[in-house]
Structure 1
Amino acid sequence: MLSGIGDLERALPELRAQRPDQAREIDWSEYARALGTDVPSDYKELGEAYPTFSVGGFLIVGTPRPGREAASAAARLDALDALEDLAEADMANGYVPYPRPGGLLHCAETSSGDIFYWRTGDSDPDSWPVVVSTRNDDWWEYDKGLVSLLAGLVSGDVPPWGLPDPFLGGDSTVRLS
């Protein structure tokens, strides 16, 4: 079972303070159609609660824009170009970009060039691990979902291998886009 956004909101109280009053109405079937796959339920819950946001000017978590699901999916796919270049140069630690079998699909990033991906492949997106690629060329996987990983990195419960420590450098200012 994937962690809900409550864990992330507890780790980032300022995020919860900025939560819109109404749920965002995202057409997840249109998003999946345009993307070519469904996405994990914790990400859907996050996307229904929050628009794209950044934390500390460092962590950037993009979510689909209601009414612009196809464009949002296209942007997520475009974000794989750098991974394709790394894979072609044999510098992606054996990972390949989606839509190849088991390929990585972009899900978040930092302003320093660290990238968070889902490793697709399993027919159940909720079982996809998150792969972290740091700017220092550290690659590692986390199997409890994106929201749980972000909450753990922010709270300090998940070691930030290859990422800044503390993860947000003490700045938890949240900006919604």
Structure 2
Amino acid sequence: MTALEDVAPAMVPFRSEAPRGVDFAAVSSALGSDLPTDFKELARRYPTLEFDGFLRVPLPRPGAESAFVDGIRRELEILRDLQDDDMAEGYEAHPAPDGLIPWSESLSGDVFYWRVAGSDPDSWPVVVSGRNDDWWEFPGGAIAFLVGLIDGSVERRGLPGDVSSRHPAVRAFPD
């Protein structure tokens, strides 16, 4: 989390001093899967964040965990439609083996997923589905991906080259 705050210091004023009280057991139960530790740590300290008016990271709100899971389910239905139309590059929606779980999106139609590769959520790679049908994988987790996108160390295949900027503006959506 520190690495993300270092490259996006504008997010720090939105950090909660105490953990936000998200019930991740309820999220995991409803989803049928745990989530990566880095994402849970982000959600314990921050509300939903948006970087440079481009990339939004929806984070569960305490007491509204079911709404968060409903959002994931809607994205999974869209992914299933892409599968049915042979437009998902062979990827499948969770709970299929190696299935995808969405965790972020751009305001331009790009979707960012985890590929559930094994039983350890902390080892799941990020899969990018670009709005122009560019699909690719990043071997790290959500925070490492965000840091790399902001500092320029992650490829941007199919994503705009100028977003997010080196010092992104950050908007928060308080609980």
Match of residue 90 from structure 1: 86
User: SS at the partner of 2:119?
Assistant: coil
Aligned position for 1:31: 27
Structure-2 residue corresponding to 1:176: 172
1:127 to 123, 126, 137: 123
Query: If the length of structure 2 is used for normalisation, what is the TM-score?
Result: 0.94
Instruction: Identify which of 152, 156, 167 aligns with 2:152.
Output: 156
- 1-side partners of 2:158 and 2:28: how far apart? 31
Counterpart amino acid of 1:45?
E
Determine the C-alpha separation between the residues in 1 that align with 2:60 and 2:22: 7
| 1:19-168 alignment, distance < 5 Å | 19-168=15-164
Assess if the C-alpha contact under 8 Å between 2:150 and 2:167 holds in 1.
no
Deviations 1:20-46 (A, max 9, x none): 222211111111001110000000011
Q: Distance in 2 between matches of 1:146 and 1:66?
A: 21
Q: What runs of 5+ residues in structure 2 fail to find an aligned partner? A: none
Q: State, as a whole percentage, how many aligned pairs show the same letter.
A: 45
Q: Which runs of 5+ in 1 are unaligned?
A: none
**Length, aligned pairs only:** 173
Which of structure 1's runs of 4+ aligned residues deviate more than 3 A?
none
Shifted more, 95-104 versus 108-117: the winner is 95-104
- TM-score in terms of structure 1 length: 0.93
Give the distance between the partners of 1:57 and 1:88, measured in 2 at CA.
Answer: 31
